Amino acid sequence: MANYLILGGGKFGRLALERLARQDPAARFLVVDHDPAALAAMPAAGAGRTRVQQDVIAFLVDHLKAASPWDWLLPMVPVHVAYEWLRQGPLAGPPWEAAAVPERLMELAPVARRGARGELYLSWARHRCPDDCAEPAVCPVTGESREQALDAALAGTALAGYRLRVISSRQLAPGVGGYAPGRLLDLARELDDLEGQVLIATACRCHGVIQGLARRSGGRRV
């Protein structure tokens, strides 16, 4: 029996709950979304299923602690949860500030595009993936090899002047990815000792997002 925190109650949040509940009927779920209509459309609440109406990042800032009960965090919202949690939570305000993601990272994957917040999205896939893809070593749509996982490729990338930190998303059910919430807490502690420019990435085998942070020299927190 696992305990899941699902951030986002839209289509993919619903699919995540449904598929994980089929795998583990005893699992517990907490779904967070700012939209009451999205929460109302989630599979019926009951024992082990709780809904909370709140901004997902604000909820994470308020409630993510070392003693939090969740085994897995599933980011099912159109923002980079790890980055936004850092910016609004443990790294809020000076000395940290947003920084650009270098253009040369766009060469890592065949599909690369910028988002509205300056984030960089990378993908091995040039097509729309089926929502129940099991992330096999061979793409089920094109037959292309996926032996080199994108999260591993990012973790092995060295960029002069940057430190790159990668949160690997693990597949928990077909088309459903997540990571242990403690990974965010570990990352925040690690960044507390760093200065200069840091790139934060979250990625699975085929897709990823990267955003940048910069810390002024001598800006260690008291």
pLDDT tens per residue across span 56-72: 999 999 999 999 999 99
> Cα(48)–Cα(25) distance, rounded to whole angstroms?
10
pLDDT at residue number 33: 97
pLDDT tens per residue across span 190-219: 998 888 999 999 999 999 999 999 997 655
pLDDT at residue number 147: 83
Tell me which of 89 and 222 has the higher pLDDT: 89
**Neighbouring residues of 93: CB distance < 8 A, sequence distance ≥ 6:** none
pLDDT at residue number 65: 96
> Cα(9)–Cα(76) distance, rounded to whole angstroms?
7
Span 2-22, average pLDDT: 96
> Cα(197)–Cα(108) distance, rounded to whole angstroms?
19
Token readout for 63 is 């409630």
**Cβ proximity of 74 and 178 under 8 Å:** yes
Tell me what the pLDDT averaged over the chain comes to: 93
pLDDT tops 50 at residue 222:
no
pLDDT tens per residue across span 100-122: 999 999 999 999 999 998 999 99
| Element housing 190 (H / E) | helix 182-191
pLDDT tens per residue across span 119-133: 999 999 999 999 999
Q: Compute φ and ψ for 17, nearest 5 degrees.
A: -60, -45
SS3 at position 121: strand
**Cβ proximity of 204 and 171 under 8 Å:** yes
pLDDT at residue number 14: 95
pLDDT tens per residue across span 14-56: 999 999 999 999 999 999 999 999 999 998 767 799 999 999 9
pLDDT at residue number 146: 87
Q: From 144, 143, 157, select the one nearest 203 (Cα to Cα).
A: 157
SS3 at position 165: strand
Q: How confident is the model at residue 221 (pLDDT cuts 50, 70, 90)?
A: very low
pLDDT tens per residue across span 144-181: 888 889 999 999 999 999 999 999 999 999 999 999 99
What are the chain's domains? 1-78 (3.40.50.720), 79-222 (no CATH)
Angle between helices 81-88 and 56-63 (to 10 degrees): 60
